[in-house]
Structure 1
Amino acid sequence: MPRSAPTPCRHPACALVLDKPGYCDQHRTQVHRDYGRARRGFDAEVGFYQSVRWREVRAAFLREHPLCVACKATGLVVAAKVADHIRPLKDGGERFDWVNLQGLCVSCHNRKTARETARRS
C-alpha cells in the first residue's frame, strides 16, 4: 500500500512535517479549543440552556409530559427527551412559560428546528 507524502502542519506559522495531513499535536488542541469558543459564541441562547433554572423547568416539564407530542399525533408512543419551545426564543417565545413548551423526541425536535432555520434564512 503506498504511503502519502509528508505534509507540513496546517497552522500558518508551523514548519513541523507530519506523516498525515492535518495539524501537529500542539496546534490540533488549539484549533479545537478555538472552534469550541467560536461555536459557543455563535448562539446567544446557549448560556440560557445551561442555566440551573432552565434545567429545573425542563426536568419538571418532562416529568409532567413524558411523551413526544408529534409522535403521539401519529399514533406512536415515544418518550420525550426535549422540552421544546413552541414559539422559538429567537422569535420572541417565552422562556419558562409551560404554555410555550412541548415534549418532543430528538428526531422530531431536529426536524422542527431544521424547518424553523430554513424559514429564517
Structure 2
Amino acid sequence: MRGTPESRGYDKDWWRLRHAFLKAHPTCCVCGAKATHVDHIKSIREAPHLRLAEGNLRAMCGPCHSRRTARDQSQAWGKR
C-alpha cells in the first residue's frame, strides 16, 4: 500500500517548494518542453533527508517524468 501523499512526503512544504521550483525552472531538463512536474533525483524513499533540497530536484514535462518513473519502478522490481 502506497499510503497518502502526505505520508509519502508530499505535504504543504513540498507543494510550496514545487510551485517556486517550477516558476524558477519552467522548462523540462530533458527535452525543453514546458515543465509540469518536479522530479526527485534521489527518491524520498532512498534519501528522505533530501526531500526538500533544491539540489535534488529537476523540472520535467509530463512525458519525460512518466518515462523516468516507469524506468525507476521497473529497476526497483528487478531488485526484489
TM-score, length-scaled by structure 2: 0.84
List 4+ stretches of structure 1 deviating above 6 A. Answer: none
CA distance in 1, matches of 2:69, 2:4: 14
Counterpart check, 1:109 vs 2:65: yes
Tell me which of the two structures has the higher relative contact order, counting C-alpha pairs closer than 8 angstroms and 6 or more residues apart: 2
Q: Return closer, same or farther for 1:61/1:84 CA change in 2, 3 Å cut-off.
A: same
Q: Which runs of 5+ in 1 are unaligned?
A: 1-41, 73-77
Q: 1:55 aligns with which of 15, 31, 53?
A: 15
| Structure 2 residue 42 is matched with structure 1 residue 83 | no
Q: Report how many residues are paired.
A: 74
Shift of residue 92 of structure 1?
1.6
* Residue deviations 1:77-96 (CA, integer Å, cap 9, x gap): x1100011011112225100
1:46 positional shift: 1.6
For structure 2, the 5+ residue unaligned runs are none
Q: How many angstroms apart in 2 are the aligned matches of 1:117 and 1:90? A: 12
Question: Structure 1 vs Structure 2: percent identity of aligned residues?
Answer: 32
Aligned mate of 2:25, from 53, 56, 65: 65
Displacement after TM superposition at 1:44 (Å): 4.0
Q: Quote the RMSD (CA, aligned, Å).
A: 1.4
Q: Which amino acid in 1 is paired with 2:5?
A: V
Larger Rg: 1
Q: Distance in 1 between matches of 2:52 and 2:25?
A: 15
How many Å apart are 1:45 and its aligned residue? Answer: 6.4
